[in-house]
Chains A and B, each alone.
Chain A
């Protein structure tokens, strides 16, 4: 048996003979590694998770043609620039006349994407029975004020633009709490047939962090010099503020938890080394040098911390995944790159925690310890 094998055997035997003590030390290292993994995983993923939540806020960028309307090429360019990380909804507005001749704002937009973009709208089917009409009226989404004034029974009604007229049926009444509440939305084809107006505004929802949104705005501005590209500050400023504050709180809270748990672990580890003063004295009495004793204690600390770090990394990744799944409906994926810093940190902490009491023990004579002093 060579020296390394002997050392390993001693370490394993020591761990096995004092199972309780080894288990306590292993448990404290595992707890530290678990919390470190949870904190680092949550901190690094919270931004992505919250940015995804901000999708629900709807359009965060408005692109407006400086003059006239967008042509098909320009709209295509906006869609290509935004790519798969966003949505584009072209819109056109006109002031039409209701049945009494009073003005009403009509907007042309694809109704299904409009509904998805404005997911906070509360959509209510109108009160009243649907009357079968021939030809069938054009489907419209109307704001609650339009419903009150022009369609109190949920009936279809006529709107006029110049010489042309169109019968619309309010398929849904939406509540937005904005100027949209006085508007009628219809699909682009009937809108264009009625008014001849093409889209001059595009509502754009870009997914990502505030910096990524800023970057996309720059790209859109460069691609469309004839259009004005503006962030909806009400949304982007709130997103940046929430992200910053939340990341700071998670960081501060995680730092507090990890530091305190580390202190707790160091106390446990130090205690367990101090309790082994008799082992220390026997080793010294049998002629072991300070270096040899240090090697044995450090070897034990390293062995326990490696096992604890691996167990903690697995447990921490599972807890982080659960936190993501329970709160955001989407688990936080394990980050293998965290294993090395967690293991390295655990080994260093365990070595610090076990070396400090050894210094104290070295100052006491082995005979004194064995006598029980």
Chain B
């Protein structure tokens, strides 16, 4: 009997039920899309920023200090210690290998060049532009093009196995160096393929493939610093703790969290005699901005959820209030309050689950579209969102229905059936 009543209710009131399902579907679409966007935006922006600039700096452990002003290394040429280029592949074999998006090694020295018969002195910087690094599982290409996205090149990027180079914009302007010019250095020739603009020390330098520079300065396998781009979690009080003072259990938890400090700690364990520091200007400030944006999206999500909950509750309440006569009829035929309530709540539950599933599917599609249009990649919707959506749909419809059912039950059946209530 109960099942038949339920079935007939859906069969005879298609329009009313369709409105209710539509409202729940729309509300749950908002829930799915907003929760997915809010939970994924931090990762998406982090990924975006990491291709823009590196956030970790590796330098060799040395007894003496760097002597560098305006990007010009003023240390004597035979001074200093270096990192082995051949060791750098270990960075991509760490526990955090998936968080390491790329790295770029640098080797710099002041050099004398000859350009069209006249001599000039400028810093020569060697680096990877887009160097393939053989890994067992993937084809990994790294260099400044992937970790220093803010470097702007007019002309073409040199390839790593060529004798092409970039000239810094300030140096090019001052010394009249143009694209296509050839510079002579230690009996080797470098062809300028582009003009580099970084807003930093490289604007005053010649930037060439690392292996060319190693040969030119006679430092095979040597690099003087490495910048690493790693996906990290914004720093909190736990991240700032001193790992040396931690118990083994706390240290394990700390080292398994992708903080810049813990990734730096694991890099320094695989590369001998190096110092790994977070580039605080980037890491700290970007972490702060990302937290603000995630917070903003979370608050917008809460506001949207409240709005959709109100809208859905209003529709459910209206739907039930319109059915006062049905309630009156059922009660006059002898149905108890419990039976009437269970019928209405079962209907609400079916509507909630139907609307919730439809809303989840529509929300996933919308989140995917937003991800594609803004970031060029889809937004991941965690499966737990489906559970949240179904629970939310049931809670909102029950809440919206309960008050209206209670009110409808209070009317005298005779009055309702006369149409006076």
- A residues whose Cβ falls under 8 Å from a Cβ of B: 20-21, 24, 27-28, 31, 34-35, 38-39, 42, 46, 49-50, 53-54, 56-58, 62, 64, 93, 95, 98, 102-105, 118, 120-122, 145-146, 149, 175-179, 181-182, 201, 228, 230-238, 241-242, 245-246, 248-250, 252-254, 256-257, 260-261, 263-265, 267-268, 270-272, 274-275, 319, 322-323, 326-328
Report the minimum CB–CB distance from A33 to chain B (whole Å): 10
Given contacts A232-B200, A271-B19, contact A120 B297 (CB under 8 A): no
Q: Which residue of A lies closest to B75 (CB)?
A: A103
* Residue in chain A with minimal CB distance to B18: A267
Number of A-B contacts (CB under 8 A): 242
What is the CA–CA distance of A175 and B276 in the complex, to the nearest angstrom?
A: 12
Contact residues in A for B87 (Cβ distance below 8 Å): none
B370 at interface by CB-CB < 8 Å: yes
Given A28-B314, A246-B45; A257-B281 close (CB under 8 Å) = no
B68 touches A38 (CB 8 A): no
Task: Return chain A residues, CB-CB under 8 Å to B67.
Answer: 95, 103-105, 182
Q: Is the CB of B64 within 8 A of A268?
A: no
User: Which of B45, B199, B280, B310 makes the CB contact (< 8 A) with A233?
Assistant: B199
Q: Are A233 and B152 neighbours in the complex by a CB distance under 8 Å?
A: yes
Within 8 Å CB of A271, what residues of B?
16, 19, 315, 318-319
Contact A238 B286 (CB under 8 A): yes
B279 CB contacts on chain A under 8 angstroms = 177-178
Given the complex of chains A and B, what is the CA–CA distance between A38 and B199 in angstroms?
Answer: 38
Known contacts A260-B26, A267-B19; is-contact A245 B374 (Cβ 8 Å): yes
Contacts of A237 in B (CB 8 A): 52, 149-150
Contacts of B304 in A (CB 8 A): 35, 253, 257
Interface range for B: 35 or more
Known: A248-B374, A249-B374. A264 touches B289 (CB 8 A): no
In the complex, whether B392 has a CB less than 8 A from a CB of chain A is: no
Give the secondary structure class of A's interface.
helix
B366 within 8 A of A: yes
Task: Tell me, rounded to whole Å, the shortest Cβ–Cβ distance linking A335 to chain B.
Answer: 16
Q: Which of B311-367 contact A (CB under 8 A)?
A: 311-312, 314-315, 317-319, 321-322, 366
Asked, given contacts A237-B150, A253-B370, A327-B299, whether A267 binds B281 with beta carbons under 8 Å apart, the answer is no
B282 interfacial contact with A, CB 8 Å: yes
With A93-B70, A256-B370 already in contact, 4 other A-B pairs whose C-beta atoms are closer than 8 Å? A24-B317, A105-B67, A261-B308, A261-B311
- A268→B296 contact, CB < 8 A: no
Closest 7 CB pairs of A and B: A233-B199, A177-B277, A237-B150, A182-B66, A120-B284, A182-B65, A327-B295
